[in-house]
Structure 1
């Protein structure tokens, strides 16, 4: 998959901002969960607000796709909802217990390993990119960085 350098930098910057927002979301939702004494209610509320916001984004960007587009989609593509709910619920629960930094660091480590695996095998229709010795070294260095950056519990 080829992307021109300007587009790549714009997308990379956007994803950096999203990455910055993840620990903020963990801290905010963890705080909400503590305030209402339920990380699961906080997760539910996050998704309620997210539903409204994503509906607005969808409407601004062309509305709901034609139903015909949903025919033939493998059911496993909808498992992303299970993944995001488990992530939000677990980070909301874990952040206040082990610290947002530790929780996010371990999520990051899992993401790096899973992303490399998905790319290597081209799983779930992802673009394929082999795990070369250089990429493997990068993963090991990132794992070491996560280990060094986490503070003792």
Structure 2
């Protein structure tokens, strides 16, 4: 029971790292004068980090059979990540970190609730409840308040 709270706390900390990442990548984009190059550098460093972690943890390389049997939609996660990071680099200087992340989280909550409700991508179903809908609405109101003040 407490594990869920601990994991939620870890997710909260990771969410805080997104604000740091966005700020750093935005500064990198300003120095390089190109948001796509900044995103490329960010992903290159991330790829190298993941490579080292895979080597250190002795992760097995998936077989050709496993990779070829995977649904094609599983390969778009990297594309979505590239679009997100590039967009954050462009938007943060214009609207600020808090507004960018708040709006981003609002969008995530809307889409996540739809995914949960219908069980898309083989996710366990978690029905949309009135409480969740109210929470999303309050979150979106919060984004507008952050932007306004």
TM-score by length of 1: 0.89
Q: Which residue of structure 2 lines up, in the alignment, with residue 54 of structure 1?
A: 50
Match of 1:124 among 108, 121, 126: 121
Mind listing any 5+ residue stretches in structure 1 that lack a counterpart? none
Matched, 1:100 2:97: yes
Show CA shifts across 1:39-73 (max 9, x none).
Answer: 11110000110001011222233323331432421
- Tell me the CA shift for residue 126 of structure 1: 1.3
Change beyond 3 A, Cα 1:11–1:65:
farther
Match of 1:86 in 2: 83
Equivalent residues, number: 148
Partner residue in 2 for 1:115? 112
TM-score by length of 2: 0.91
Cα pair 1:105 1:150 within 8 Å, conserved: no
- In 2, are the aligned partners of 1:120 and 1:129 still within 8 Å (CA)? yes
User: Paired residue for 1:13, among 9, 34, 38?
Assistant: 9
1:109, 1:88 → 2: CA distance? Answer: 16
Secondary structure in 2 matching 1:138: helix
Greater shift, 87-96 or 60-69, is seen at 60-69
Match of 1:147 in 2: 144
Root mean square deviation, CA, Å: 1.5
Contact 2:32/2:38, CA 8 A, preserved across alignment: yes
Out of 136-145 and 29-38, give the one that drifted further. Answer: 136-145
CA contact (8 A) 2:39 2:86 kept: yes
Q: What are structure 2's unaligned runs of at least 5 residues?
A: none
80-89 vs 63-72, greater mean Cα deviation: 63-72
Whether 1:32 aligns to 2:28 is yes
> Equivalents in 1 of 2:17, 2:67: separation in Å?
31
